[in-house]
Structure 1
Amino acid sequence: MDNQQEQYSCAVLTLSDKGSRGEREDTSGEFLKKTLTEAGFILQSYEIIPDRKEIIIQSLKDLVDNKRITLIVTTGGTGVSPTDVTPEAMEEVVEKEVPGMAEAMRAASLLKTNRAMLSRGKVGIRGMSLIINLPGSLKAARENLEVVLPVIPHALEKILGGTSDCGAE
């Protein structure tokens, strides 16, 4: 974000059973905190929670409805293993999906690995907040964030009622 743009609040939510128990270092969450603050976002919350659907739902709703965080970026729980339930939690949280952002992340990842087609991450809006699901690995989280980071400020401006033209760059 340049100095002309509003600074937006953000939260990083890592979804990991092992991470929540202190059994695994959260490299992707640490990367996201650093990258988002360097991009001009104001980090308001960082948490590591277990891969449990109800806990994810409760955490996302709290970040949006109570803490009024503008951008929430999750990492983890987007694959196809039995404990990967982030997309199912998102279905119960978001009011509008933003499929183009999720599709762009998967398309860019597919250029690097065919395993990207197993990613089920979603992007959506709840209230005045944008929620973005990233994979749990540091490499994948970095690659996916690179794709969407340039458009996040404009997306937030529009979500918050901005009237600038989407066609102008």
Structure 2
Amino acid sequence: MWTVMESPVGELRLIERAGALSAIEFTPWRQPADGRPLGERGDDHPVLAAAVAQLTEYFAGERTTFDLPVAPRGTEFQERVWAQLVKIPFGETRSYGEIAAWLGHTNAASRAVGLANGRNPIPIIVPCHRVIGADGSLTGYAGGMDRKKLLLDLESTDRLF
């Protein structure tokens, strides 16, 4: 099942499989890699409706954590990286090297962490946008750098008002 929602970062397509959120896609959408159809549109599906509600609250500045069943699919290493991403607190960032260290690797694994980060199928909820370069620079983002900056700005605690 799937649904579409409007957001400050453009339309998002949310995909549910087996009772869990399995993907959030930025426009332009692409065909599923496995060639299978997404199934029926299910705006009222409980997982999708909850995801839309929580994302709406997040974009409105009313939510800092998510409470949704998620099931990202990837390699064992990718899934280990993604599990670390959800530990990065709202409004904070970490470097690729820090994520590598959390996994018990040296800084040399930063590139592998970056590649896994870029393959995250559930952006925003699995907050890959919170990973930046060791020097504090914004680095690549599968959804585009404008979206990454917008998401980080949304989470910034340095706002005056």
Same fold (TM over 0.5): no
Structure number with higher relative contact order (C-alpha < 8 Å, ≥ 6 residues apart): 1
Richer in strand (by share):
1
Structure 2 length-normalised TM: 0.30
Richer in helix (by share):
1
